[in-house]
Structure 1
Amino acid sequence: MKATAIANSNIALVKYWGKRNEEIILPQNSSISMTLDSLHTTTTVEFSKKLKEDSLIIDGKKVPENETEKVSKHLGLVRKLSGKELFAKVESENNFPKAAGLASSASGFAALSLAATKAFDLHLDKKELSVLARQGSGSASRSIFEGFAEWLKGSQIDGSDSYAKQIAPKDHWPELTMVIPVLTTKEKKIKSRAGMTQTVANSPLYQSWLDTIESDLDKVREGILEKRFSQLGKTAELNALKMHSTMLTTDPHIIYWEPQSITMMKEVMLMREEGIEAYFTIDGGPQIKILCLDKNAKKIENRVKEMKEVKKTYLCKAGDGAKLIDKDLF
């Protein structure tokens, strides 16, 4: 009973920040993302009667108990679906830095959900997989899908109507590009989950975030479907800044940005002044992602590569959803 899946990371263009239910991860707002073609997680899951507990290896290292607990809890959902109480060995590899603001939990739990269900020979459709992945990491619900996806916040208490759906396939807008300059590979001190809880609890700006989110969703959805780059970029950039404003005004403050984050934001604004249309977005972490069109992508990538703050760059297009592969990690 063994299977391997690969899932790409996704970057939200309208962010998800804050939960209405912490236990089964139900969001306060819907969100829209682009699944990337260059940042992925590969995960192998094997259930066996010989195992006495779940074990987890990420990037060749045995994972501490607190992280294994999250994965065990998620495997418990799959065990419940299958009706089989077997422990699992899980091995996972990322081709990008983990927990550094590049959405490794999204690709991680999407790959885990698909591999674990297949290992038990369960055949979930994409909606069911999205609901399952959401309960591991909210943004993982979107990594099930290729191209562009919207995670619907839903209204049901059991979360049955909170899942992602595809807005457009990966080949819908081939000119749209995301340049990701890696500014740090260090794991962030405050995980997104803890940051959200604090923000919802006491940021005076949180209600304003919710009051403007539907308008942002409409503009970004339309921007993608109609390929209106300026509309998409402006809305995504402001949405990210609004999200971070709720964190900055939380007590105690949550400041994910590093000095190099601000340097990169200002560099993107300078590009626009010089006539290169580009926009930035930032998740719960220090990394800046730059949205641009293909005609400017190499120019932008070469420009940021020259900056002393940049350790590595990724050039991403819209990519595949989670899928099974034949090559196991063990």
Structure 2
Amino acid sequence: MTAITPALWVQEELLAGRSLQPTQEQATAYAPANIALSKYWGKRESQFNLPLTGSLSVSLANHGTHTQLSLIDAADHQVYLNGVEQAGESAFVVQLKAWLSLFLPTGISLRIETRNTIPTAAGLASSASGYGALALACNELCGWQLDYTSLSALARLGSGSASRSLWHGFVKWQAGEAANGHDSVAYVLPERWPQLRVGILTVSDAKKAVSSREGMGRTVQTSALFKQWPAQAASDMQHIEQAIMENDFVALGQRAEHNAMSMHATMQAAWPPLVYWQPESLAAMQQVWELRQQGLEVYFTMDAGPNLKLLFEAANTATILQHFPTLEVIQPFADPS
């Protein structure tokens, strides 16, 4: 019996009955970046990019990735990131080509032009919005007419968090149980929170030395604290979803911040230790804690990078900006147009 591979699963199950040939010359798409309130950290299977636990995020409106795909007469794909052509042997291009090879027939070459409106590879989920936009653009280019939940499985094969970057709002990614990951998909939650604000506090926009994928693997393999993480992550996600349903900001903020700090603790207990923070990151955390002691309801979350994402409500925006004047404030539930 032939073992199922991601390419076989994509072509024979996900895209069953659909043509793999592009049906038009060009396609464009946009996908928002997302910030996980309950984090994805650790895989149960790496080939299909399957997580140990589910996760829950909020999308960042007009902060994300714009992608244009064009058919070209060339021997290979051409990849441009923020207007700069990328070397074919770069890790970014190698991974992108591997993802395209899951479904695109040999002999078809694309010019791929991607523009991020967030810093690339600095812990601000640019790979998530990147593969989200690619999945949406390929859906249009090839005329598949897949629904977003099906596309979330395709995007996941490029970047796990990309499964959550197809929608605006709160998005939940199910861990699933199937070996081929057909049930490890995302869907948007119906709840909206117009008063919720996310503030991006950029400590550094430099590419991080250790990628999320590499850091995740090191943590799973070497961190003694990681064995406690899956149970906590599952509990945190349940409580965060409940806080969203009840519009309970304090419960949301407390759980999201604790979840992020716990994830970073597992990294720091890895060997060699993984510390994505910069001194400015820690100073910002301490400032948030001091403001809470003064009665200001503000919390933070952090992914695998040095930058903080502050969580607060609209009524506190002016006060927050007094303390963090360089903060970029995002309204996740603003009209996407």
Compared with structure 1, are the counterparts of its residues 146 and 31 closer, same or farther at alpha carbon in structure 2 (3 Å cutoff)?
A: same
Quick check: 2:195–2:314 contact (8 Å CA) kept in 1?
A: yes
Shift of 1:322: 9.9
Distance across 2 between alignment mates of 1:89 and 1:108? 15
1:27-82 CA distance string (max 9 Å, x none): 1110000011141210001234x121011100111123221111111212241xxx
Distance verdict in 2 for CA 1:195–1:322, change over 3 Å: farther
Matched, 1:154 2:154: no
Counterpart AA for 1:12: A
The CA distance in 1 between the partners of 2:75 and 2:272, in whole Å, is: 41
- Rounded to whole Å, the distance in 1 between the matches of 2:297 and 2:121 is 29
CA distance in 2, matches of 1:244, 1:182: 18
Q: Alignment partner of 1:168: what SS?
A: coil
The superposition leaves residues 106-156 of structure 1 with CA deviations (integer Å, 9 ceiling, x where unpaired) of 111100111122112221111111000001100010011220011000010
* Cα separation, 2, equivalents of 1:252 and 1:146: 37
User: Partners of 1:313 and 1:272 in 2: how far apart?
Assistant: 17
Deviation at 1:84, TM superposition (A): 7.0
Please identify, of 203-212 and 70-79, the stretch whose mean Cα deviation from structure 2 is larger. Answer: 70-79
- Partner residue in 2 for 1:15: 39
Is the Cα–Cα contact under 8 Å of residues 144 and 322 in structure 1 kept in the other structure? no
Q: Letter of the aligned partner of 1:313 in structure 2?
A: L
Runs of 4+ in structure 1 off by over 2 angstroms are 319-323
Aligned residue in 2 for 1:295: 315
Larger relative CO (CA 8 A, sep 6+): 1 or 2?
A: 1
TM-score normalized by the length of structure 1: 0.91
Tell me the distance in 1 between the aligned counterparts of 2:307 and 2:190: 26
User: Pairwise CA RMSD of aligned residues?
Assistant: 1.7
Report the alpha carbon displacement of residue 321 of structure 1 after superposing the two structures with TM.
Answer: 11
Partners in 2 of 1:302 and 1:89 — Cα distance? 44
Q: CA distance change for structure 1 residues 320 and 6 in 2, over 3 Å: closer, same or farther?
A: farther
Mapped partners of 1:230, 1:85: distance in 2? 54
SS in 1 for 2:68: strand
Q: CA deviation at 1:25?
A: 0.5
- Distance apart, 1:173 and its partner CA: 0.8
Q: One-letter code of the match for 1:314? A: E
1:13–1:33 contact (8 Å) kept in structure 2: yes
Q: Distance in 1 between matches of 2:110 and 2:334?
A: 26
Name the CA shift for 1:258/1:110 in 2 (closer, same or farther; >3 Å).
same
Q: 1:98 aligns with which of 117, 120, 128?
A: 120
State yes or no: 1:317 paired with 2:327: no
Match of 1:163 among 185, 189, 195: 185
Query: Are residue 52 (structure 1) and residue 75 (structure 2) matched?
Result: yes
Stretch deviating more after TM superposition (51-60 or 115-124): 115-124
SS at 1:124's partner residue?
coil
Is the Cα–Cα contact under 8 Å of residues 30 and 152 in structure 1 kept in the other structure? yes
2:119–2:205 Cα contact (<8 Å) kept:
yes
Q: Is the contact between residue 6 and residue 111 of structure 1 (CA under 8 Å) also seen in structure 2? A: yes
Give the one of 190, 207, 232 matched to 2:227: 207
Identify if the C-alpha distance between structure 1 residues 53 and 322 changes in structure 2 by more than 3 Å, giving closer, same or farther: farther
Structure 1, unpaired ranges of 5+ = 306-311, 324-330
1:144 and 2:169 matched: no
The C-alpha deviation readout for 1:232-264, integer Å capped at 9, x for no partner, is 100000000110000000011000000000001
Measured at CA, do residues 291 and 180 of structure 1 come closer, stay the same or move farther in structure 2, by a change above 3 Å? same
For 2:327 and 2:28, how far apart are their aligned partners in 1?
Answer: 27
Residue equivalent to 1:71: 96
- Aligned residue pairs total 311
**Runs of 5+ consecutive residues of structure 2 not aligned to the other structure:** 1-24
